[in-house]
A and B are shown apart, each in its own frame.
Chain A
Amino acid sequence: MIEEADFKCLRCGHEFKAPYEKGKIEERFCPKCRSNSVRHIKKKL
């Protein structure tokens, strides 16, 4: 299921939302600095 998720760029620190599908690996990049060091921020329960 595709859902909107939070991501953080580990290069410039920019936080943003983007579509996310669990288990799917795709090339992600930061919309601000174009780095691929983009981390999916998991929701804390």
Chain B
Amino acid sequence: MMDVGRHPRIKLLTYSEIEEISGYIGNFRIKIRRKARYVDENECTACDECVEVCPVIVPKEHQMGLASRKAIYIPFPQAVPSAHLIDIEACLGFDPIACSKCAEKCDKNCINYDDKDKIIEFDVGSIIVATGMDVYDPTEFDEYGYTRFENVLTSMEFEILTGPGGVTKGELIRPTDRKVPKSIGFIQCVGSRCEKRGNPYCSNVCCMNTIKDTLLLKEYYHDIECKVFYVDIRASGKGFEDFYRRSKGLGVKYIRGIPGDIREDPKTKNLILTVENTSKGSIEEHELEMIVLSVGLVPRYDSDVIQKLLTLSTTSDGFLMEVHPKLTPIDAPTSGVFFAGCCEAPKDIKDSVTQASGAAARALTILSQDKVKIEAVTSIIDEDKCTSCGICADVCPYGAIIVDKKAKIPAKVIEAACKGCGTCAAECKFDAIRMRHFSDEQIMAQLEAILEENPEEKIVVFACNWCSYPGADLVGISRMQYPVSPRIVRTMCSGRVDEKFILHAFELGAPIVLVTGCHPVDCHYIDAQQWAQRRVERLWDKLERKGIRPERLQLEWISASEVGKFVKTMEELEEMRKKVTREEIEETKRILSKIKK
């Protein structure tokens, strides 16, 4: 942090918040609020004389309230710049009669109660999101007595307690009697891998963090008894298994089973833990002086702010979603934005550093060139047809379309930001948007070719490029069988499937039409898939009003790996196709051609 702060080519803005981000890859403009510090950071020498006279004491956020700080403070020892700031909500000193002790004590006159927030703006070429994570709050696991029993701590609190910069300067004491505990129990997976409470995912770091804690304890307190209660130990990194073996070799007991209950002895404040030891098949009780709940990682409480600012999407867990988990794990769906660390998924220090190095390198690839190559699939506005209604701008997941509705200026596509999902083209009621590649003409021509002969024997399938189409591909690679009737029309996104494509397929005699794409959480175009769902739902109503059975238009979300689902869907649709009579198809054609006329 100090190195970054001193680097001549890095501008570090701490105690600041991003207010607005506009622009696109290579040309982002960022508006930042620099919060008022009320202390001149250039003059302050961090002598601490102001802290000594400050009468206000509040819990210290950086140490999760286990320690206290004054209203004038340095957030943490390594903070950059190494200068004080005033928590103005806690400070009494705005009125000199009320306090102003720090101002009187400061010889360098660094205190400025009239300081104001400043708004500054920057132009940047790329952005790296490294907003970190929070830890899970285990209060809902009432059986563990967290907050009821003082000697039950979370792994983060334990870290603060035992860390060299912690409240006890690294000395391990238990909260109730301030003595070194003789025995400690660690409960793994608290709030992790649980569908009913907490989070369904594995947080990746808790097992190794506990093993590290047990090694440190055994190193500094040889006689301390350590017990780890676990479901399974996940030590899959380089050298991690050795680490685990070392811990066991030093006498740490690993008991396979998650405790069901913790009670406190009111006299000794010791904790009695009941657990089913699944290795032995027995119910056991363990008396321990301290218990550490190994809690998982969760997305930052305010991660939705950066998500909205950069039009990013999240996975079902709430972490920011990358473009592709295997091929582009660092890139955000918005071009020029990259991820580092736990904002994207729970990860340990090594993985965070690896990803951060990758993100820095990816950012440099943009900064080092004058021009950026983008995919050729983008949308083009026909200004003669555009009515400036603004629907295209509303549906664009990337904010790549600018339109001035009041001034009636036709929409404009920022090609560097456009990803080519085609949702704008599908939603435009005036046919004022055409796509480069996957154009209307190309898709219509495909439909005409598919349904030229024996259309009643075909099922038209619109499949998205990223999930359903590769899913169909994988069915073939896996040598799985499905009926011969489906004919696949590939689009970049299910959001591209225009109402007119579906109606045209019916008009040409298709008995069944299927729109298929990514599951909502997997959509490669943030939320473009949702527009496909809205459109299909709208079309079901429309078809019914026109006297066409809505059942003939089907919807299915199939991911690239769901080969079984793909085959099952095609088999079911084949059964439905057989029930669509020639008379029904002819009636549909008659209805649609009448509407056209």
Contacts A10-B550, A10-B551, A11-B572 given; does A27 touch B557 at CB 8 Å: yes
Interface string of B532-557 (1 = CB under 8 A from A): 01100100110000000011011111
- Does residue B33 face the partner (Cβ distance < 8 Å to A)? no
- CB–CB B520/A36 < 8 A: no
Q: Does A14 contact B (CB under 8 A)?
A: no
A40 CA / B553 CA spacing, docked (Å): 14
Contact B537 A10 (CB under 8 A): no
Partner of A36, one of B534, B541, B556: B556
From known contacts A11-B572, A25-B530, A26-B520, infer whether A39 and B554 are also in contact, taking CB-CB under 8 Å: no
Q: Residues of B contacting A39 with CB < 8 Å?
A: 537, 540, 550
Chain A residue nearest in CB terms to B557 = A36
How close is B291's CB to chain A, nearest CB, in angstroms?
Answer: 39
Do B554 and A37 touch across chains, with their CB atoms under 8 A apart? yes
Query: B519 contacts the other chain (Cβ, under 8 Å)?
Result: yes
Q: Find chain B residues with CB under 8 A from A36 CB.
A: 555-557
CB of A25 within 8 A of CB of B556, answer no
Chain A contacts for B541, CB-based, 8 A: 42
For residue A27, which residues in chain B have a CB less than 8 angstroms away from its CB? 519-520, 557
Roughly how many angstroms separate A39 CA and B550 CA in the complex, as a whole number? 9
* Cross-chain pair count, CB within 8 angstroms: 34
CB-nearest residue of chain A to B552: A10
Chain A residues with Cβ below 8 Å from B537 are: 39-40
Contact present for B534 and A25 (CB under 8 Å): yes
Q: Please, which residues of chain A bring their CB within 8 A of the CB of B557?
A: 27, 36
Within 8 A of A (CB), among B499-558: 519-520, 530, 533-534, 537, 540-541, 550-551, 553-557
Q: Are A10 and B554 closer than 8 Å at their CB atoms?
A: yes
Cα separation A37 to B550 with both chains bound (whole Å) = 10
A33 to B550, CA, bound (A): 18
List the B side residues contacting A40 at CB < 8 Å: 537
Give the residues in chain A near B540, CB-CB below 8 Å.
Answer: 10, 39
Is there an interface contact between B520 and A37, defined as CB atoms closer than 8 Å? Answer: no
A13, closest chain B residue (CB): B551
Alpha-carbon distance A17/B526, docked complex (angstroms): 29
Chain B residues positioned under 8 Å from A42 (CB to CB) = 541
Given contacts A10-B540, A25-B533, contact A35 B556 (CB under 8 A): yes
Given contacts A25-B533, A39-B540, A40-B537, is CB(A11)–CB(B520) below 8 Å? no
Cα distance A37–B536 in the bound complex, in angstroms: 9
Contact present for A37 and B556 (CB under 8 Å)? yes
B373-396 interface bits toward A, Cβ cutoff 8 Å, 1 = contact, 0 = none: 000000000000000000000000
Q: Which residues of chain B from 139 to 177 have any CB-CB distance to chain A below 8 Å in the complex?
A: none
Q: How far is the CA of A11 from the CA of B577 in the complex (A)?
A: 11
Residue from the list B530, B534, B555 in contact with A37, Cβ < 8 A: B555
Nearest residue, chain A, Cβ from B534? A25
**Interfacial chain A residues near B556, Cβ < 8 Å:** 35-37
Q: How far is the CA of A37 from the CA of B540 in the complex (A)?
A: 10
B551 nearest in chain A by CB position: A10
Distance in angstroms from A29 CB to nearest chain B CB is: 9
Chain A residues with CB under 8 A of B519: 27
In angstroms, Cα B557 to Cα A25, docked, is 13
Q: Which of A10, A26, A33 has the most CB of B within 10 A?
A: A10
Which A residue sits closest to B572, measured CB to CB?
A11
Apart from A11-B554, A27-B520, 9 more pairs, CB < 8 Å: A10-B540, A10-B551, A10-B553, A10-B554, A27-B519, A35-B572, A36-B555, A37-B555, A39-B537
Residues of chain B touching chain A, judged by Cβ–Cβ distance below 8 Å, are 519-520, 530, 533-534, 537, 540-541, 550-551, 553-557, 569, 572, 576
Binding site for B on A (CB under 8 A): 10-11, 25-27, 33, 35-37, 39-40, 42
* The 9 residue pairs across chains A and B that have the minimum distance between CB atoms: A25-B530, A10-B551, A37-B554, A37-B555, A36-B556, A27-B520, A36-B557, A36-B555, A39-B540
7 contacting pairs across A/B (C-beta < 8 A): A10-B551, A25-B533, A27-B519, A27-B557, A36-B556, A37-B554, A39-B550
